[in-house]
Amino acid sequence: MKKLDRREFVKLASVAGAGTLMPDPLKVFADAVDQLFGKPRQGQIEYVPKPVANAKFGMVIDLGKCIGCRRCMYACKLENNVPDTISPPYIMVFETEAATGAIGHYSSPEMMGKGSTLFYTKLRKDKWYMPVQCNHCDDAPCVQVCPTGASYKDPDGLVIIDYDKCIGCRYCMTACPYGARRFNWWEPHVPKDRINPLVPLRRHGVVEKCTFCVHRTRRGKFTRCVEVCPNKARTFGNFNDPDSEVRKLVRNERNFRLKEVLNTGPRIWYLTKPKEKHMQWYKPLPPPTNIRGIRQ
Amino acid sequence: MLIDAINEIFKIVTTGNKKYKMWMGFLSVLALIGISFVFTQIDQGLIATNMRDQVSWGWYIANFTFLVGLAAAAVVLVIPYYIYNYKPIGEIVLIGEIMAVAAVSMCLMFILLDMGSAERFWHLIPYIGIFNWPGSILTWDVIVLNMYLVLNLTLVIYALAKTYAGKPYKTKFIMPLIFFSVPAAISIHTVTAFLYLGAPARPFWNAAILAPRFIASAFCSGPAFMLIVFQIIRKTTKLKIEDKALHKVAEIVAWCMAVNLFLLGSEVFKEMYSATAHIEPFNYLWFGLRGNDQLVPWIWTAVIANSLAFLILIVPSIRKNFFMLNIACGFMFYGVYIEKGMGLIFPGFIPGTLGEIYNYMPNTLELWISLGVWAIGLMIFTVGAKICIAIKTGEIGHALEIPSDH
């Protein structure tokens, strides 16, 4: 073997270094094909069914009934293959002083009350609990600002992310007024026994959020959070259907939407009339890991 | 002819006096350290930075914003020389344009580093990718930044090629490009400002004043950098730059800083007088919010630096003193860097849309990577400037044979 002098060593080292950077060529090719043509490969489940014709989906959350048990949060996490590295999960449940939508700790206590907290305190009957998730806005700012069109709004009202097109620029996260979007800072890992085959697994470097369980709602079911709520505080339905529960609730009960003045047209309505809270459904569950100390 | 030219240019780039070699060596070391940290970031993902969901844009975008301003500042030289025919600036316009090229290259590097899926950058190429134009301001930014880069590269290469060959410029070709570079520079700035100001979710940014403030602060930081660089060039090369040129640039910068401080005052009044709930990010930046005050010393030192620089520049006799001028330039560069970087990007996210405070500060990896990018940008600038000066002073090529003053 030729004697390894300094030049040879530097050449070898730089080639080896560059080699560690090289991605698997087959995977890159398959990835590029997915991005260009976007069709499911042979044998792959259709992750995003076709939009339902003439539908306008929306959700109603009754703050009078919500006890803050956070079952919706955990069920959503399991249903949508949300890894532990996405924190908090798609649904955030705030404990607030009043049913006003004033989340966040504003500077004037007389005006806005003492603020709210996302952290898991002992549940109380005199507090209000408010789940916040993606509102699938009619005029979604995240859809408007996405440079590749990875975030798009379908005619049936759902705002969906195409994970193959997302370049991870996070402009949508900057634009969302509701803090609904999550970024995969880590490579996500979901334990094999917890994977739901109907929902795609994401990779590092893409943004994800609540999809109104697109794989369920477009196949005639409810979203998982609506199904799981023990107090029936949540309702999901088609606003174009004249007999739907959601339409009746929004028309007849006192309600508000979050940050309406921004004209984003959110599709989650919150009912404010106090009702009987069935606290017996509350059983303590372990809180998810809080990553990197978020203060309020 | 072309091979000879390339050979000569290569020799200019690779040879030089001790200072040049030490400077390039120092920059190379910084660049290599930065690149090694980039490997770490690619390996671990963006979790290796301090950015999180709550503050999803951080140090890289802060640097990008500042550098867009630096790039646009070449126009501060173009306008007096080409539009008002202020002849003494003639020698230095090209160097300003080379700085614009280096700055835009740094911008593109920072963007690639900040993207979560950087290998998908080709999605942003029109027609080949999936471009959400005209809806997304980011697509406009991609277009105008690349257009500005190509424009400046064309101008520089054309001018240097003609000078090398000993021929005067063809005015019909170059003048439209130069006139176009003025709105192009304004556009890269305005579009970048629109990126922020168009987001209704972030009340700290959602104000029309952001666009004029960007321009005002860009016209301070860019020329501040250039003034120092020109003095270094005067001392280390044969290029003759008249004092008058530098004084004129300093004068323009003084008024730009006046506008910048006035716009800042206007923002302060609006926030503190109206005192709506949207004052929270402003309070976080200037006074600290609920005990979180890590940005407060940075912004106060920045605004004091800017004000002192303004006071130095506003008095002509002090401004003409090069020692004081350099102090003012240093102050301005620091002041605008903090104001547009940390002072703009971080408070936009703190407190977040749902009231959360995440005290973001860049970590070691981000700082080393950004130093590496700056080093690469400065290397591009040094090499470009060296070639430009060598050609203009006639060290290589036939510059001295050009018949008339152009």
Q: pLDDT (tens digit, 0 to 9) for every residue of chain A, 296 residues total?
A: 556 577 777 777 776 666 555 656 666 666 666 666 655 555 567 788 889 999 999 999 999 999 888 889 889 999 999 998 887 889 988 888 777 766 665 443 433 444 566 666 677 888 888 999 999 999 999 999 999 999 999 999 999 999 989 999 999 999 999 999 999 999 998 888 889 889 999 999 999 999 999 999 999 999 999 999 988 999 999 999 999 999 999 999 999 999 999 999 999 999 999 888 877 766 655 554 444 334 33
Residues of chain A in contact with residue B359, where contact means CB-CB under 8 angstroms, are 295
pLDDT of residue A36: 62
pLDDT at site B72: 86
What are A195's two structure tokens? Answer: 């994977």
- Contact: A176, B201; criterion CB under 8 Å: yes
For chain A positions 140-179, those within 8 Å of chain B (CB to CB) are: 141, 144-150, 165-171, 173-179
- Determine the residue of chain A that is closest to B49 in CA distance: A185
Considering only residues 209 to 248 of chain A, which have any Cβ-Cβ distance to chain B shorter than 8 Å? Answer: none
Query: Does the beta carbon of B117 lie under 8 angstroms from any beta carbon of chain A?
Result: yes
Candidate from A92, A169, A264 with C-beta closest to B115: A169
End-to-end Cα, chain A, rounded Å: 64
Does residue B331 sit in helix, strand or coil?
Answer: helix
CA distance A1 to chain B (A): 30
**Taking CB atoms and an 8 Å cutoff, what residues of chain A touch B129?**
148
* Residues whose CB falls within 8 Å of the CB of residue A226, separated by 6 or more in sequence, listed in order: A59, A72, A234, A235, A236
B135 contacts chain A (CB < 8 A): yes
Do the Cβ atoms of B53 and A106 come within 8 Å? no
Chain B residues touching residue A171 (CB < 8 angstroms): 136, 138, 195
Residue in B56, B123, B358 nearest the CB of A167 = B123
The predicted pLDDT at position A277 comes to 81
Cβ separation B130–A167 shorter than 8 A: no
Are A174 and B116 within 8 A, CB to CB? no
| Radius of gyration (C-alpha) of chain A in whole angstroms | 22
The partner residues of A159 in beta bridges, in order of sequence, read: A153
Residue A14 at interface with chain B, using a CB cutoff of 8 Å: no
Q: What is the pLDDT along chain B (406 residues), one digit of tens a residue?
A: 788 888 888 888 888 888 899 999 999 999 999 999 999 999 988 999 999 998 999 999 999 999 999 998 888 788 877 777 776 676 788 888 999 999 999 999 999 999 988 888 888 887 777 888 888 999 999 999 999 999 999 999 998 888 888 888 888 888 888 888 889 999 999 999 999 999 999 999 999 999 999 989 999 998 999 999 999 998 888 888 888 888 988 998 999 999 999 999 999 999 999 988 889 899 999 999 888 889 999 999 999 999 999 999 999 999 999 999 999 999 999 999 999 989 999 999 988 888 888 889 999 999 999 999 999 999 999 999 999 988 888 777 777 776 655 4
Range B22-401 has CATH code 1.20.1630.10: yes
Residue A236: phi, psi to the nearest 5?
A: -130, 140
Among B42, B55, B56, which would you mutate to test the A interface (most chain A Cβ atoms within 10 Å of its Cβ)? B56
A198 at interface of B, judged by CB pairs closer than 8 A: no
Report the residue of chain A nearest B194, measured CA to CA: A145
Tell me which chain A residue has its CA closest to the CA of residue B54: A179
Reported ipTM = 0.90
What CA–CA distance (Å, rounded) separates A64 from B192? 44
Find the CB nearest B53 among A17, A173, A178.
A173
**Residue A283 distance to chain B (closest CA, Å):** 27
- List the single residue in B with minimal CA-CA distance to A182: B53
Residue B195 to chain A, least CA–CA distance (Å): 9
CB-CB under 8 Å, A295 with B357: yes
Selected for mutation to probe chain A from B40, B60, B133, B136 (highest A CB count within 10 Å) is B136
DSSP lists the bridge partners of residue A238 as A57
DSSP string, chain A: -----HHHHHHHHHHHHHHHHPPPHHHHHHHHHHHHH-PPPTT---SSPPPPTT--EEEEEETTT-----HHHHHHHHHTT--TTS-S-S-EEEEESSSS---S--S-HHHHTT-EE-S-----TTSEEEEE-----TT-HHHHH-TTS-EEE-TTS-EEE-TTT-----HHHHH-TT---EE--SPP---GGG--TTS----TT-EE---S-HHHHTTT---HHHHH-TT--EEEEETTSTT-HHHHHHHHS-EE-TTGGG----SEEEE-------GGG----PPPPPPS--B-
Please count the residue pairs, one from chain A and one from chain B, whose beta carbons lie less than 8 angstroms apart.
176
User: Which chain A residues touch B142 with a CB distance below 8 Å?
Assistant: 147
- Pairwise CB contact (< 8 Å): B353 & A176: yes
Amino acid at B145: L
The nearest CA of chain A is from the CA of B171 a distance in Å of 38
Residues of chain A neighbouring B56 (CB-CB closer than 8 A) = 170, 173-174, 183
A111, A177, A187 ranked by CB distance to B201: nearest: A177
Please state the separation of Cα B34 from the chain's center in Å.
Answer: 19
DSSP state of A291: P
Return the pLDDT at B76.
78
Chain B hits for A176, Cβ within 8 Å: 201, 353
Q: Does B208 touch chain A (CB under 8 A)?
A: no
Give the pair of three-digit tokens for residue A30. Answer: 């398959």
The pLDDT of residue B29: 97
Which one of B49, B60, B114, B132 makes the best mutation probe of the A interface by having the most chain A beta carbons within 10 Å? B132
Put simply, the answer to whether A148 touches B118 (Cβ < 8 Å) is no
**B352 to chain A: which residues are within 8 Å by CB?**
179
Q: Which tokens belong to B382?
A: 């040094």
Kindly identify which residue of chain A lies nearest to residue B345, measuring between CA atoms. Answer: A174
Query: Which residues in B lie closer than 8 A to residue A94 (C-beta atoms)?
Result: 354
A272 CB near a chain B CB, below 8 Å? no
CB contact residues (below 8 A), chain B span 264-293, against chain A: 277, 279-280, 283, 290, 292
